[in-house]
Amino acid sequence: MLRQTIATVKCEWVHTVLHNATNINDVWCWVAYRKGWWMNTFPALHSDNSSLVDSPEGKSEIFHKCFFPSHLKPCQIWQCTDPEPLLKQEWEPINESKVDGALKGTSHKSAPGPSGVGYMILKWAHATRPDLLPHIFNLAMAEGVHP
């Protein structure tokens, strides 16, 4: 119990010394003594006029000004370090025979993908409405999205 009390008092003392440190060398000297123990305080911040702000409201205002400035700097959409845009690709429309050929090479027993739709259901849907899957694939290619 005595050791624990002494350790607690030492920890509180060092915490107070670190919290009131004015020189950067003081901080690094005492950090070694604390051995990386977690501190429960948020350090003071420098305001615009280089004064230290210790109040939570002042710190909040400094962070707000930093991360949410009132006047945004203009930014060009294209930057000089951007790579050249890729040329647009022309795609041959997908027809019923291409879908039919792709589905013929699949197995009924293979596991469904992330969508949960297996090849057996796709084959059934294509046999029922052969125009539907090519239409969906062509729309996806035209819009540039993957459903």
Contact indicator for 41, 19 with CB cutoff of 8 Å? yes
Range of the domain at 56: 43-75
Same domain, 105 and 123: yes
Contact 26, 20 (CB under 8 A): no
Same domain for 2 and 22?
yes
23 plus 33 within the same structural domain: yes
Any bridge partners for residue 45, and if so which? Answer: 53
> Mean pLDDT across the stretch 69-86?
84
Cα 126 to its chain centre, rounded Å, is 39
40 has pLDDT over 60: no
The answer to whether the CB of 123 falls within 8 A of the CB of 106 is yes
Backbone angles phi, psi at 10, to 5 degrees: -60, -45
Mean pLDDT of all residues belonging to the chain: 82
Label each residue of the chain as H, E or C. Answer: CHHHHHHHHHHHHHHHHHHCCCCHHHHHHHHHHHCCCCCCCCCCEECCCCCEECCHHHHHHHHHHHHCCCCCCCCCCCCCCCCCCCCCCCCCCCCHHHHHHHHHCCCCCCCCCCCCCCHHHHHHHHHHCCCHHHHHHHHHHHHCCCC
Domain count, the chain: 3
Query: Is the distance from CB of 96 to CB of 137 less than 8 angstroms?
Result: no
**pTM (whole model) above 0.85:** no
Residues 101 and 133 occupy one common structural domain:
yes
Q: pLDDT grade, residue 36 (50/70/90)? A: low
pLDDT in tens, 4-27: 888 888 878 777 777 776 666 666
Say whether both 33 and 21 belong to one domain. yes
What is the band of 32 on the pLDDT scale with cuts at 50, 70, 90? low
As given in the structure block, the two tokens for residue 42 are 């948020």
pLDDT of 110-146, one tens digit each?
777 777 888 888 899 999 999 999 999 999 888 888 7
